[in-house]
Structures are given as C-alpha cells and as structure tokens.
Amino acid sequence: MKTQGKHFLVLLLLTASSLLHAQYKWENPLKQNFPVVRGQAWQDELKDSYARLPQRAQDKVRKPVWDLSRNSAGLSVAFYSNSPEIKVRYVVKGAFSIPHMPTTGVSGVDLYATDQNGRTRWCAAKYAFRDTVTYTYGGLSYETDPVKGYEYKLYLPLYNTVSWMEIGVPSNASLSFIPVSEEKPLVIYGTSIAQGACASRPGMAWGNIIERNLAHPVINLGFSGNGKLESELFDLLAEIDAKLYIIDCMPNLAGKEASVVVYDRTLQGVKKLREKNSAPILLVEHSGYTNEYSSKTTEASYRYPNAELRRAYEALVKEGIPEIYYLSKEEIGLSMDAMVEGVHPNDLGMQQYADSYIKKIKEILHEETGEIQTCIPCKQQRDSYDWNDRHNQVLKLNSQTAPDVVMIGNSITHYWAGEPVSNNQFGKKSWDDLFKGKKVRNLGFGWDKIENVLWRVYHGELDGFQAKRVFLLIGTNNLKFNTDEEIVAGLKFLTKAIKQKQPMAKLCVMGILPRKDQEMRIRKINEMLQEQLSKDITYIDLAPQLTQSDGTINSSLFRDGLHPNEKGYECIAKRLKEYLKF
C-alpha cells in the first residue's frame, strides 16, 4: 500500500507539473518566419544563432576575436505582450561570471517595456542560474487594456554564448515578435568596454543605453582585449550599410609600444570604410583610467594611443576625407568612481560613457532635442494598426522607389490613400487624381502627434532620396495635451528637422484642419504658426475650403467632426493642386 501511495503521489505531481506547463505557451525567437534578433549585421547568415560575426569570418579573424564573436553582446529580441508575467529560459555555453563582473551582466538578460506613448520602463525579475537559466518577470501592469500590450525588448548576455532560448507567457496572454528594423544601424567597433564590461546587467552596457535612448539600431562589435584596428575587421565593417561608424579601440592599444600601430591602422581602416560607405565615422580616444592621478605610469600609458589617434584624425581632415568626427577623453569625462578596477566602467561609468556618446551622435546626425514635449522625439503604438510595421514599410518603399512628393501627417493623411497602403482609404479617387503621374509616399500615421513625426524624421523616413515637395499636416492630436504655444513651437522645431533632411524640397505646411467645437482655438494656433514660420516655408490655409461662413466646420465634409470624408478630401486636393507644379 505504501508503494502504491508513493506511485500515486508521483503520478499526481507529474500531472500537476504537466498541467502547469500546459498553462504557458513558449516561443523560440529563432523559429519565427522573419528575423527578430536585433543587433546582427549579417541577418541572413546568422539567422540560426545568437552570434555577431558570420561563419565565413572564422578563417579571416584571429581566434580570440572569433570566439568572442559568439557572445551575444548588444543583441536583443523585441516583442509585444499584454501578459502580467513573462518567463525566459535559455542555455549558455560559458561560465556564469568573471571575477570583476557579476553573473547578471555576464550571463543574464534584461527586459524593458515601452508603453503606447513611447515611455520606457525597466522590468525587475526573479532569476536562477542553473543548467537552464530562468528569468521570471512577474507583476507586470498596463495603464490601459491593450490587445497587443506593450513593446518589450529583451537584451541578451554580454559575455556569454546563448545556445538556446524560449520566451513564455500564460496561454491566455498575447505574445508576438517584432521584425528587426529596416533602419541603418550605428556600428560600434571596440574593446571589452564596448562589449559591456563591467555592466551589472545587459541594459547598462553603454551601447545598449545609446540604443535605448536614441532608438537607432546598434551593432556591437566590441571584442574584449581584441579591439586592435585590424584590417580584417575593417573589411567586415565596410560590408555594413551603417548610419554611423564608431571606432573605439584605444583601450586595447595603450602604452608606447602598442600604440605605434594606431596612426597607420586608423588611416587604412577609415579609407577602407570610405571606399564603400559615406556614413559619418567617429574616432574615439581612450577614456583613461580612474587611478591616473595616483599613478603617473598609468596616466602616460593612455596618452600614447590618444596622441597617435589625434594625429591620424588631423591627417584625415587635412586630406579632405569627409564626415570624420572625434570624441576626446575630456568629452567622455569619466569620474573617479566610474570604474570597477580602474579600467572597466561600472554602471555609473557606463552611463557617463553613454551620455557623452549621445551628445556627440546627436550633433553628428543633426538630431536636436528640445526642452518641451512637442520637441522631444517619441514613438507611439495603437492597436488599430502596427506603427513599427508601417515605419518599416516606409523605409523599404523609399529604398525601392524615391518619391517626388512626401505627405507627412496623422490619421487624416494616413487614411486618405497612397502607399504604404492602408486597410481604410476614404479619399482614393481624389488622391489618384491629385497625384497622377507623380511618385508619392504617404507618411501619415494614425494617432501621431508632432513629437512622433519628429521621431520618424530622425529615423530615416526622409533619408536616401531628394523630394521636390514635402507637405506637412500635423498637430490636431496635440490639442488635448499641449498649449497653443507648445504646439507652434513643436511645429517650428519639426520644420527645421525636415529642412535638414530635405534641404532642396519645397516644404508646404498646412494649418491644422478645423475640428468640431475647437474651430476658434485652431484658428488662433494657425495664425500664430503662419506668422512664425520661416520665409522659405509655404503656409497653406485649408480652413476656407472646410468651414462655413461663421467659421464652424462644414459637417458635410467630415466623417466625425475631425476626419474628412470623400468630399472633404476632394476639397483639400483641389487646394493642394496649385502647389504641385514642378
């Protein structure tokens, strides 16, 4: 009887375990129908792994570089979920920790959520490091009840190799992976500091902080102890269609003897990149050691490579090599307590490192950020359509066909007509008639505010082509959240960004369309806007076509007091036709 009781208990436990397991659904990121691992430059060649260099590089680079390229530093996976609990389980091949860096940084993962209005939130977890590492993110909450939930980004281990991974949520919750971005990446070539030593968790590596703050894709090619400006690596870097190259190798070339190669290798490497790519190149000095004031020998060691790098930079500038930039030790400005052992940054140092980079990158890419909400670039997401997907569609279409005319806006533009094609088109005939014979791109995104358009302008939607006309209609979704002055300031800020990206295009700014019960306020905003726009921008007032003699909207031209119907779009098209003569 005792034996039967034991067997029954075992069976009961197995059944309970099976039921518990059945309550969760698990997904392997590598088994999706599209690439989801972010931070890989060679997606097609790396689709079955969490590595950083393609297989063909094994015979080209030194073995230590190849071995380190198997580490998942800088890689991440993005997905939507509305689950109150998210679990991650995975297997790594190396040791969990190293003497000066914690297990959570070497072998851990790190989860961040972005809500529907673009705000980022860090998520805490319970974790266990065993043969299979497990992270459980519990008690996750949502301000609304979205169908998709929030956008999550899971950063992978900095100093270990992931051989297998699954992400799980309760069976009644949603989980859908987000394809990798079509945007050009920031590409980092560097040392252990770039790889992530000694961040306490993956999200605190300076490359990941930059990626999270600027929202540009980042390729991390930091190799611990092995960032040495080698020609084989520059050959690989040149294959990447980058938005910006960051060369940060001086910490591995410190000292008088090691630094003798810096000048020649920098010149050769930069010229290799310039043969294939016109992207800006940022050369970065050694950030120094935090014990330099107590050791003159230590101080001298980093000055050698920095002097040689400066000499190379000045030679490149004198030679007329375009788009070469420089980040000095003083600009990085690490404080005395910013390193673990005087060499590798702790979290404080990583943040200081990232802050200096973010400032410099914004200068290089002309991505100015203001002080008020309407001047701070921001993402958004709504359940009615996939905002990220539409952004990627725009980038892909632009790479295939350069548009002559660009229509930028919110749902009013989004649901008019044109490409990318929307499920709802309420003015297709007037769109087709207006733009007949012209290549047009619809950059209208439902629910967008001024700051959302600014984000899209900074993330490639106006890059890589020269338009003849750019039309802007935005601001109505800011009425609920911002003052009149903030809206006008945001629109002026946005037009400056558009002119930076499309300096040769004629920019036409349409006043905010009249809106039921807000006609007088909108009229005041439009008057302020028209008065303050720079003289090289054309202002278009659409109110006379859409309002009655008393200034209220003509309801027969709108579907809901905000969005035009077919007749409303015909009125807008008739007004815009005169601005399309080129």
* pLDDT tens digit sequence for 211-259: 999 999 999 999 999 999 999 999 999 999 999 999 999 999 999 999 9
Q: What percent of the chain has pLDDT over 70?
A: 96
- Which domains, and CATH codes, for the chain? 22-180 (2.60.120.260), 183-365 (3.40.50.1110), 373-579 (3.40.50.1110)
Sign of CA dihedral 273, 158, 257, 250: positive
Using one digit for the tens of pLDDT, what is the confidence trace for 403-449? 999 999 999 999 999 999 998 999 999 999 999 999 999 999 999 99
pTM above 0.85, yes or no: yes
Task: Place 12 in a pLDDT band, splitting at 50, 70 and 90.
Answer: very low
* Average pLDDT score over the chain: 95
The per-residue pLDDT for 531 is: 96
Q: Among 5-14, 297-306, 377-386, 454-463, which stretch is predicted with the lowest mean pLDDT?
A: 5-14
CB atoms closer than 10 angstroms to residue 10? 10
Rg (Cα) of the chain, in Å, rounded? 27
The per-residue pLDDT for 374 is: 98
Using one digit for the tens of pLDDT, what is the confidence trace for 69-93? 999 999 999 999 999 999 999 999 9
- The values of phi and psi at residue 470, to 5°, are -125, 120
The per-residue pLDDT for 284 is: 98
CB atoms closer than 10 angstroms to residue 551? 12
CA distances from 59 to 42, 54, 195, 206, 495 (A): 17, 11, 22, 30, 50
Any idea how long the chain is?
A: 582
Question: Is residue 381 within 8 Å of residue 152, measured between CB atoms?
Answer: no
Q: What percent of the chain has pLDDT over 90?
A: 94
The tokens describing 331, both together, are 């600009």
The per-residue pLDDT for 35 is: 96
Mean of pLDDT values over 27-48: 96
Task: Place 582 in a pLDDT band, splitting at 50, 70 and 90.
Answer: confident
Burial of 560 (0-12, 13-18, 19+ CB in 10 A): exposed
The per-residue pLDDT for 255 is: 95
Is residue 460 over pLDDT 50? Answer: yes
Q: Among 44-48, 133-137, 505-509, which stretch is predicted with the lowest mean pLDDT?
A: 44-48
The per-residue pLDDT for 4 is: 53
CA distances from 47 to 40, 55, 106, 177, 236 (A): 9, 11, 23, 15, 18
Pairwise CA distance, residues 252 & 131, whole Å: 33
The per-residue pLDDT for 146 is: 75
Closest by CA to 374, choosing from 491, 470, 236, 292, is 491
Cβ within 8 Å of residue 162, ≥6 positions away = 50, 72, 90, 91, 92, 156
- Alpha-carbon dihedral angle through residues 184, 185, 189, 191, given to the nearest 10 degrees: 180
The H or E element that residue 169 is part of is strand 162-170
Pairwise CA distance, residues 479 & 374, whole Å: 11
Pairwise CA distance, residues 572 & 510, whole Å: 10
Pairwise CA distance, residues 196 & 301, whole Å: 22
- Alpha-carbon dihedral angle through residues 265, 270, 273, 276, given to the nearest 10 degrees: -120
The tokens describing 467, both together, are 């338009």
Closest by CA to 194, choosing from 73, 67, 113, is 73
The per-residue pLDDT for 417 is: 97
Sign of CA dihedral 454, 456, 461, 464: positive
Pairwise CA distance, residues 197 & 201, whole Å: 10
Using one digit for the tens of pLDDT, what is the confidence trace for 378-397? 999 998 999 999 999 999 99
The per-residue pLDDT for 19 is: 43
Is residue 181 over pLDDT 90? Answer: yes
The H or E element that residue 444 is part of is strand 440-444
Using one digit for the tens of pLDDT, what is the confidence trace for 118-128? 999 999 999 99
Task: Return the residue matching tokens 């709802």.
Answer: 424
Question: Is residue 131 within 8 Å of residue 121, measured between CB atoms?
Answer: no
Question: Is residue 443 within 8 Å of residue 413, measured between CB atoms?
Answer: yes
- The values of phi and psi at residue 363, to 5°, are -65, -45
Among the residues of 97-237, which ranges form H helices? 103-106, 192-195, 206-214, 231-237
Mean of pLDDT values over 14-19: 44
The per-residue pLDDT for 5 is: 52
Task: Place 15 in a pLDDT band, splitting at 50, 70 and 90.
Answer: very low
User: Within a 13 Å sphere around the CA of 301, how many CA atoms are in the beta-carbon half?
Assistant: 17
Pairwise CA distance, residues 52 & 75, whole Å: 8
Using one digit for the tens of pLDDT, what is the confidence trace for 152-178? 999 999 999 999 999 999 999 999 999
The per-residue pLDDT for 528 is: 97
The per-residue pLDDT for 20 is: 47
